[in-house]
Amino acid sequence: MLSRQKLIAASALIAVAATCPAVAAPEFQTPAPVAYLQDLSSGAILYSKDADRRMPPASMAKMMTVYVAFQMIKSGELKLDTKFPVRPETWRAWHSQGSTMFLSSGENVSVEDLLKGIVTLSGNDACVVLAEGISGTESAFTERMNRAAAKLGLSNSHFGTANGWPDNGVTYVTARDLAKLASATIQDYPDLYKRFYSLRSFTWGKTLGGEKPIDQANRDPLLGRVSGADGLKTGHTDEAGFGFTGSAQQNGRRLVMVLAGLGTSGQRAEESVKFMEWGFRAWQAKPILAKGKQIETAEVQLGTSNKVGLVAPSDLSATVPAGTAGEMRLTVSYDGPIKAPIKAGQHIADLVVVTPGMPAERLPLVAANDVPQAGFFGRAWAGLLSLFGA
């Protein structure tokens, strides 16, 4: 199959007239050694600072544990009301190591409560109990984590523990990979994400005297401080510093942010709020293409039709600096001709949006209709035509 990207781009070029001069991307300064911000609505990367540096994730690794659990719940392999035991040896190892759910040795705990203990309380003990309950051992579960990470394209990440506890560098991530993991969690499992990630607090276990239950607040620094904030996960060890992967949605725009390597929890909270608010305030969405609207056609090979319409799967917008109309250039890009069969709604091309001073944004385009594969004689005729360049 030959690349037809240049040909299609040339024929489908659309210039959007500027109504004012282009404005440079607004600046943001943060003391965080690592920072990353992406607008999921357009795919635009709004800020990137050492985003591909390998680093220890601390408890942000628990996002991968939760993603695997969500995957199993959706497929029916795991049920929320299934209960797993807290083995005495697991309790001895984790009841006082870092953040804890305050599980008790020998008790049986549901998957739902363990997930709340992981997401809301950052319980190291809850992570290991869940991992052992699912796979028998934590190491077997981390193999599953790494398989899931590979399928998500987290090419710069590896997991040696279920909870992110320091392990001499075996576990590492990058800010870009953490943002990709957060995005996949939100987009692949929206109902489970909503159910677990925005809880303000969770109560489990009892005080030493056994008189009253222990209520712990969610450590998410955006909840209650940034409108639309609904997840995800903080992390801290001496090695990693204070980090946070967070998300919020306002007026149809969803942003995902990562900060890492900060010095204190207070600094993490302050910088996280500033970073997310800057993302919403300094940038705006510019509508490009309405859902279902056709912008071009793509060539089809060995189909009952030699072309298929390219349409927007949803309302498509680009992200541009606030207060500017700017100038945009749009091109349609795909590798083709595309072999039949093609299903309506199949992602087969991209709309590439270029705004001055910004990296290119790629928005998905899908097939407008089914294109079945041609019968034998149709394919033979198409082959003859291709020999003569027809």
* Rounded distance between C-alpha atoms, residue 243 and residue 265, angstroms: 9
Query: Is 62 an active-site residue?
Result: yes
Query: Is 151 an active-site residue?
Result: no
The C-alpha R_g of the chain, in whole angstroms, comes to 24
DSSP state of 242: E
> Residues with Cβ < 8 Å from 340, sequence gap 6 or more?
300, 301, 302, 303, 304, 371, 372, 373, 374
> Residues with Cβ < 8 Å from 313, sequence gap 6 or more?
291, 345, 347, 364, 365, 366
Six-digit token string for 138? 């934590």
The residue from 122, 157, 272, 317 that is catalytic is 122
Partners of 258 in beta bridges: 36, 245
Q: Report strand pairing: 347-354 vs 361-367.
A: antiparallel
- Of 140, 163, 206, nearest in space to 66 by CA: 163
Query: Is 59 an active-site residue?
Result: yes
The residue from 62, 116, 233, 286 that is catalytic is 62
The residue from 41, 42, 59, 333 that is catalytic is 59
Alpha-carbon distance values, 57 to 6, 153, 188, 229, 305 (Å)? 41, 17, 22, 21, 50
CB 369 within 8 A of CB 310: no
Six-digit token string for 376? 């034998």
Look up tokens 């796979």; give the residue: 135
- DSSP three-state, residue 320: strand
The phi and psi torsions of 241 (rounded to 5 degrees) equal: 75, -160
Residues identified as active-site: 59, 62, 122
